[in-house]
């Protein structure tokens, strides 16, 4: 999609004005002649999903992609569109319609780059628009209502499956449940100041650890130009002695290595030794992601590298304890 097309739903002029950014995803998808769900609904069709509401909406098509195919440059484009909308003093809030595969990642990037003082609500769907269990209309409606609530918290949240959830520590836990997202733990963000620099040109990779893993993939990532690497480790952040040795080599070459986990919930604690445990990884120079799982850890690392943060700042962001604990709530 080249450029942006704007659709304006006019009202009385006295209603709150929300910007709706469409980016593709399942909420914008229907089955084509080959039986594949593809994002083919435009902004006007998506707005038609909403019931009558006391709100004025300005919709803008930013992308039309499945979120699994998004690049960091695509996420940056979405974040830039959110930032442009937030700069308009007439705007009450922003709704981003987004695919679920990478929703928590783009949402975190927006939070990190803008620290919005107005509500920014991400939502999407688990089922395509023509599926018998289509859930896009309900989620979209909940997102609009969340953005309009007088007590709506500023900043980025997800409205999905009947819940409104703060973005820090979110992960997608189900491929087919309507309430697709959960939080790793009830913890708030450790970053309170914006990190505005663009991440489009950075390479930050995720490498999965497994029993018997060596350093080959990590070394290939370095050779490809990665400035940061996230390890999707086992358990509370553990791997093999071979991977620990590769982490030490990566640190000697100047790359920042963050250890997350393939386990979906619980806080990480680098207490294990044995040559490949989290304690050994930390001694090799890795940073432990206390809360964030690999996808969001990659986004935070990219944002901090783009903004020239030092390693102490990066370690504090991943390993620190937040001052506040935002809670999920019903939509």
Predicted confidence (pLDDT) per residue in 199-242, tens digit: 999 999 999 999 999 999 999 999 999 999 999 999 999 999 99
> Using an 8 Å Cβ cutoff, are 189 and 293 in contact?
no
- Pairing relation of β-strands 56-65 and 17-24? parallel
Mean pLDDT, the chain, rounded, equals: 93
What pLDDT shows up at residue 153?
Answer: 78
Question: Catalytic: 190?
Answer: no
Residue 2 has pLDDT above 50, yes or no: no
**In the chain, count of helices (H) and strands (E)?**
9, 16
What pLDDT shows up at residue 186?
Answer: 84
Confidence of residue 327 (pLDDT cuts 50, 70, 90): low
From the list 97, 99, 165, the residue with the least C-alpha distance to 137 is: 97
Residue 107 has pLDDT above 50, yes or no: yes
From the list 154, 133, 147, 145, the residue with the least C-alpha distance to 50 is: 145
Q: Which positions ≥6 away from 256 have C-beta within 8 Å?
A: 227, 228, 229, 287, 301, 305, 311, 314
Q: What is the DSSP string of 66-80?
A: -GGG--HHHHHHHHH
Residue 105 has pLDDT above 60, yes or no: yes
Range 304-331 average pLDDT: 83
> Using an 8 Å Cβ cutoff, are 126 and 92 in contact?
no
Domains of the chain: 6-183 (3.40.50.1170), 204-319 (3.40.50.40)
Residue tagged active-site, from 23, 26, 123, 190: 26
Q: What is the DSSP string of 101-161?
A: SSHHHHHHHHHHHH--SSEEEEE--SS-TTSTT--HHHHHHHHHHHHH-TTPPSEEEEEET
Q: Which positions ≥6 away from 33 have C-beta within 8 Å?
A: none
What pLDDT shows up at residue 11?
Answer: 55
Residue 106: C-alpha distances to residues 103, 189, 316 (Å): 5, 16, 22
* DSSP at 63: E
% of the chain residues with pLDDT over 90: 84
What pLDDT shows up at residue 56?
Answer: 94
What pLDDT shows up at residue 4?
Answer: 47
What pLDDT shows up at residue 150?
Answer: 81
122-138 pLDDT, tens digit per residue, is 999 999 999 999 999 99
Residue 324 has pLDDT above 60, yes or no: no
pTM of the model: 0.94
Residue 326 has pLDDT above 80, yes or no: no
Confidence of residue 323 (pLDDT cuts 50, 70, 90): low
Residues tagged in the binding site annotation: 67, 100-101
Residues tagged in the binding site annotation for substrate: 67, 100-101
230-251 pLDDT, tens digit per residue, is 999 999 999 999 999 999 999 9
């Amino acid at each position: 999609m080249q450029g942006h097309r704007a659709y304006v739903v006019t009202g009385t002029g006295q209603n709150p004005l929300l910007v709706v950014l469409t980016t593709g995803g399942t909420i914008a998808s229907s089955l084509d002649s080959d039986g594949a769900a593809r994002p083919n609904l435009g902004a006007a069709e998506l707005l038609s999903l909403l019931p009558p509401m006391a709100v004025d909406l300005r919709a803008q098509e930013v992308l039309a992609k499945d979120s699994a195919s998004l690049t960091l440059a695509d996420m940056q484009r979405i974040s830039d569109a959110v930032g442009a909308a937030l700069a308009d003093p007439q705007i009450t809030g922003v709704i981003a319609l987004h695919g679920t595969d990478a929703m928590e990642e783009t949402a975190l990037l927006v939070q990190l780059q803008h620290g919005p003082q107005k509500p920014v609500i991400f939502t999407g769907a688990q089922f395509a628009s023509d599926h018998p269990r289509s859930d896009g209309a309900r989620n979209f409606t909940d997102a609009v209502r969340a953005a309009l609530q007088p007590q709506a918290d500023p900043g980025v949240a997800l409205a999905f499956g009947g819940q409104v959830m703060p973005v820090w520590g979110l992960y997608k836990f189900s491929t087919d449940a309507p309430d697709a997202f959960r939080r790793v733990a009830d913890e708030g963000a450790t970053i309170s100041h914006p990190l505005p620099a663009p991440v489009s040109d950075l390479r930050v990779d995720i490498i999965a650890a497994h029993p018997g893993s060596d350093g080959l993939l990590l070394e290939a990532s370095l050779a490809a130009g990665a400035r940061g690497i996230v390890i999707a480790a086992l358990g509370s952040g553990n791997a093999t002695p071979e991977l620990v040795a590769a982490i030490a080599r990566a640190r000697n070459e100047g790359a920042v290595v963050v250890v997350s986990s393939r386990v979906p919930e619980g806080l990480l604690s680098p207490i294990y030794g044995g040559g490949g445990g989290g304690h050994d990884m930390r001694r090799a120079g890795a940073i432990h992601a206390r809360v964030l799982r690999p996808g969001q850890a990659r986004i935070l690392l990219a944002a901090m590298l783009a903004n020239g943060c030092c390693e102490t700042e990066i370690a504090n962001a991943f390993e620190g304890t937040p001052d506040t604990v935002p809670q999920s709530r019903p939509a």
